Structure 1
């Protein structure tokens, strides 16, 4: 399977791409290489091959997600550079 320069120009137009004639020829060669590779893949017998679902057989073991307060309000305020009773003081960002 191969394509021509008109097809490249049409694809470029649809993709909103612009390139000169030299780049169009390079794109044509690259696209033809990809299409030839796809033709080679079609020749393979994949009748008894299961579809690939995951890239590896490894299984992630994750812990249960439990919400826990690890730092109390008072402990968090101890590390604040500026504080006002129960709140953090930060510089103004809006006038």
Structure 2
């Protein structure tokens, strides 16, 4: 089934996508959109009975882990090479007056 995309549809899509198309580009876009819709119709002919819907082709599992502190408070070691420190923190020159 060939889908006919008219100028009004292309102009509306152009407005939504903030595109400025000349007449040649409009014709090409109409043909492209028609072919895409034809392909979707072809896909709709597939027998999908018994096929479980999915969002990915491959199984996807949650890869997050519990956020556990492993190195603890290593403040003294971190500040060991600081040129200057004050109250357990790096001391830096004032940058804002």
The alpha carbon displacement at 1:90 in A equals 3.6
What is the 5 A alignment of 1:16-27? 16-27=18-29
The alpha carbon displacement at 1:50 in A equals 0.8
Q: What 5-or-longer segments of structure 1 have no aligned partner?
A: none
Q: State the partner residue of 2:37.
A: 35
CA-atom RMSD in angstroms: 2.6
Q: State the partner residue of 1:47.
A: 49
Q: What 5-or-longer segments of structure 2 have no aligned partner?
A: none
What is the 5 A alignment of 1:39-78? 39-57=41-59, 59=61, 63-70=65-72, 72-78=74-80
Question: How high is the TM-score relative to the length of structure 2?
Answer: 0.72
User: How many residues are aligned here?
Assistant: 94
Moved over 4 A (4+): 58-63
Question: How high is the TM-score relative to the length of structure 1?
Answer: 0.73
CA distance in 1: counterparts of 2:36 and 2:81, whole angstroms = 58
